[in-house]
Structure 1
Amino acid sequence: MTTFLTTPQGRHIAYHQTPGKGPGVVFLGGFRSDMTGSKAQALQSWAEAAGRAFLRFDYSGHGASHGAFVDGAISDWREDAAAVIEVLTEGPQILVGSSMGGWIALLLARDMPNRVAGFVGIAAAPDFTERMWEAEFSLAERTALLEEGLFLRPSAYSDDPYPITLRLIEDGRQNLVMNGPLHLPFPVRLLQGSADTDVPPTVAISLFHQIISPDLRLTLVKDADHRFSTPPCLAMITEAIEDVTRAREALSYEDSPGLQVSNIR
């Protein structure tokens, strides 16, 4: 059953929560995705079988949540995620961020570190709005944005184009995380497909080098695309969560000699 949470900003956020043991797992979806996607559903099934607390939700303007998609931006969706974690969960949570959800998770780790137990990034896309503006948009698209405040970008996943707003781009610049070291004092697992054309492997490798963590691993999966939702890929996600849980239990931060980074595999 889907229920709703009203955030401090007055937005109505749809969510589904599975009770269980901690640390709980929170799934943060991608740009224009929702909590009924294959990764969110597979994680819920895994959590129910494992007796693990699990929370999935829709950002405002996404899925069953209220609001118009074009009215939202990174700051709003970060606020939505922070609200559901603060109100609906107890203790540190393992954040599983898919695509844009990886960016949101990194912002949460910065802003509420005491509520984060670990991070699993799936084709994480930090700062993607700036990459779109700098490397992907044509002059005509930039001009349309500056003059009209919006343009419709074709989507490889839907017949409906993505509406990109000037506010999304400008707000993204206020939330950049790849402009300095990312101090994440908990286990981190990054999963990335080699055939991902939306978030290329170079992004994952750059993120790998930006993160400072006591336990950091990047898994590059040959021929996996941005969806990362084949049965083997879904199994890798749950394995990464279990690995983060084990690493968190084994890791003593006070006694840690420093950064321990595995090789890319």
Structure 2
Amino acid sequence: MSALRTALRVEALAWRRSTVPRLATPLLVGLVPLASIGLVALARSGAVAGAGAAKLADYATGDLATTHLEVAGQVLAVAVLVAGGFALAAAFGQPLADGRAGAYFGLATPRGTLALARCVVVLGWVAACVVVAVALTLGASAVAAASLSAPFGPAAWAAAGRALAAGLLGAGLALPFAVVATATRSPLATVGALIGVVALTQVVVLVGGGAWFPYAVPSLWTGTGGPDAAADVGGAALAITAAVAPVGAGVVVAQWRRLTDV
């Protein structure tokens, strides 16, 4: 455990100094409340017509605060996966691609422990961004609701909880891309795999299998596909989706234990 604690401290320090979180954190944290409040306001302004109005139709009615937080969950379900995938491509793929990982063979800390610490640090960063993004959306939504004398009741709090859970599920779904980064030793290949999974998810949803496909579950659960699609996502599907994170972490730790050359 002492080796893991040391690795966590070192990895956390390295991550704080990395360019990726410096760029991604404000984008991820700021995007969610801006998109949530802005899209709902746009939908209810009547300023959008045609195809745009049809896409925003679900946001034009209903409880204001609840709608804000439902949109936040839908945005988080996608944004967190993309941000986490890019982060893990950099954290695992770049050191292997440029040869810096060769120094790990001279450390007393096992490479599997280093990989686990890196997974925990990146996942912790993404989870913290999710919490802050939902909190900011809650605050902004409460202010907007108060200005219009709209209620902020139990339904809004339930939507906030679902948005938070969807964001955390999306963060866990990013961990398998650490496996891809280790196997390919290429951040670019990892980003390509991420884009491929996002595209595959759209196809799976179109053919009706999204309720059991982990990469589609958070988005559908938050209502992206409508209330009927959200109702199709059951506890078993959520449990399978949550299991992706520990499985991904276990695989990447095993990969790093077996690294013999860099």
Highest CA radius of gyration, 1 or 2? 2
Structure 1 length as normaliser, TM-score? Answer: 0.28
Higher relative contact order (CA 8 A, sep 6+): 2
Q: Which has the higher helix share?
A: 2
